[in-house]
Amino acid sequence: MQENNSFLSILPLGGLGEIGLNAQLWTTPKALIMVDCGMMFPEEEHLGIDVIIPTFEHILANQDRFAGLILTHGHEDHIGAIPYLISKIKTSIYGSKYTLGLVEAKLSERNLLSRARLIPISEKTKLSIGDIKFRFFPMTHSIIGCYALAAETPVGKVLHTGDFKIDKGTEDTVLAPIREFAGDEGIQLLLSDSTNIEAEGHSSSEEDISKPLQDLFETTKGRIIVTLFSSHVERIQKILDFAEIYGRTVVVCGRSLHNNIQISSQLGYLTLPSKIIMDPNEIPNLPDEELVILATGSQGETFSALSRMIMGSHRQFAIHKGDTVIMSSRFIPGNLRAITRLIDELYKRGASVFHGGSHKIHVSGHGYKEELRAMLLAAKPKYFMPIHGEYRHLCMHAELGKECGVHPNNTIVIENGTPLILYQDGFELGEKVNVEPVLVDGKGVGDIGPIVLKERKILGEEGVVIINIVLNSHTWDIIGGPYIITRGFVFEQSYRNMLNDSKNIVYEELDELEKYDRELFKDKLRSGYRRFFKAILQRDPIIIPILNFV
């Protein structure tokens, strides 16, 4: 399509068709750059998995050309996978002062800080990497230190919004740099946050929740327990300020809150009240009406501070009648069941619960439809690719792009693994590549795949049957067993006769064995037992034959 060699390839490693896992690889003739390096929390089908991260194989295959990682902001779905990347490759990381503070804490915790060069950026920064020149435009979001990336590339101007919203009254301030960057000719390619495209109108601002929160502090007589995202510094500051106004001592419970409050205060983004206790072990004996507990657990996490308070396993606190629990955060869709269970348990213990679904104590950090429209009109893009959203969000945002003047043929909805290759006079989609995300289970990174998850699902739903046999190593005569052990399959005492009958399968398969081959015999036992249990019980457990030869 293009006579010279100018191009920009954008390969989404995550974040398209899903909420989370945001990561892109930008490639030009002279640069290979990663934009964001996020993680995603597992869903119900990811049994036992701790987190999900992008694949780094495309970076590792080209590490001699890899020029660094640029971060839009410090949320986990944009920075959470950085330690896994840095464990494999040394590189430079660019981000706001606050974002890099969070990254530094992550890397220090894993003794990886020496492998990364942390380079702060601001709205005054002009950064050149290879043949791309970056500028950074401050954006409003639910965390401080957010930037849109304005890039001058070999094929024209590209704007990556990052996550953003536009509070009412700030439109001109937020959009002025973007209009200036676009100029009369507009931006060649816009990549824009799609999260709240389904929400009509304009989002509320952070100031809109100040009065409802203050009213709760003014009227509540017992303890106030607040759970929220630990990275929402502005919201945390409100809670600390109201606690000081109403004479309450703040106790911080939860590692992520403790770390983020320390980082934010050290960097000058958070002003701590005179009465704050960072270590719950040091709390004096105070009456309930003088306490505010800031706790982790806004998403119903099993081992969070709030969950442990509910279940009575927290060393300092337990939920009791008269408590007021304020859940000032968004409910992430994959966590809804866990959150509703947590709320039910709070009510069972006599607490009053206030959350964003019932009271105005949370506002979204992502712009609604009219804010997304304002971004499109300011950027005037020739090409538009929606990012950061489930697939329907991307499609709906593309339709909005057409309403805002983008030619229908120039709206680009793609999935993870499909490279967008932009030229000066057009674009094309490259051949889809494998960007299957990596599952992290404990210290195992990438050693769990679909087969293991399927086995875990079967174990959870059908159970396991172990057939233990002792055989003569020369004649293959059975000299011990068969011993049948089940777990999660049937109550053995009730099904003892059936399990004893199943031992005949061992003798039958052994008699029909054409040659003495361990693996062949195991395969036949697995097949025979599966047929037997399917016919008798309509169940399909995992069958594990164990052969011992003496």
Angle between helices 97-109 and 255-266 (to 10 degrees): 130
Q: Residue type at 491?
A: F
Q: Residue type at 276?
A: I
Q: Phi/psi of residue 354, each to 5°?
A: -125, 125
Q: Where do we find the tokens 């630990």?
A: 230
State how beta strands 383-387 and 189-193 pair: parallel
Structure tokens at 465: 């049957």
DSSP secondary structure string for all residues of 441-455: ETTEES---HHHHHH
Task: Identify the bridge partners of residue 465 per DSSP, sorted by sequence position.
Answer: 486, 543
Which contiguous run of DSSP H or E holds residue 479? strand 478-487
State how beta strands 146-153 and 132-139 pair: antiparallel
Structure tokens at 510: 């052994």
Structure tokens at 29: 């003739």
| Active-site choice (77, 167, 193, 323) | 193
Helix, strand, coil proportions of the chain in percent (round to 5)? Answer: 35, 25, 40
Distance CA 138, CA 150 (A): 11
Distance CA 164, CA 78 (A): 13
Q: Has 73 been annotated as catalytic?
A: no
CA angle (292, 248, 347) in 5-degree steps? 30
Distance CA 333, CA 323 (A): 26
Contact 215, 240 (CB under 8 A): no
Structure tokens at 433: 């590549």
Structure tokens at 256: 């992520």
Helix, strand, or coil here: 23?
A: strand
State how beta strands 91-95 and 116-120 pair: parallel
Q: Has 50 been annotated as catalytic?
A: no
| Active-site choice (366, 388, 393, 397) | 366
Structure tokens at 399: 């339709």
Q: Please report, in angstroms and rounded to a whole number, the separation of the first and last CA atoms in the chain.
A: 71
State how beta strands 249-253 and 276-277 pair: parallel
Residues 6 or more apart whose CB falls under 8 angstroms from that of 296 comprise: 227, 230, 253, 254, 255, 256, 257, 304, 305, 306
C-alpha separations of 353 from 195, 220, 254, 318, 357 in Å: 27, 12, 20, 15, 11
Distance CA 283, CA 292 (A): 12
Distance CA 406, CA 5 (A): 26
Q: Which of 163, 166, 167 is nearest to 145 (CA)?
A: 163
Q: Phi/psi of residue 251, each to 5°?
A: -115, 130
Q: Phi/psi of residue 98, each to 5°?
A: -70, -45
Query: Could you list the active site residues?
Result: 193, 366
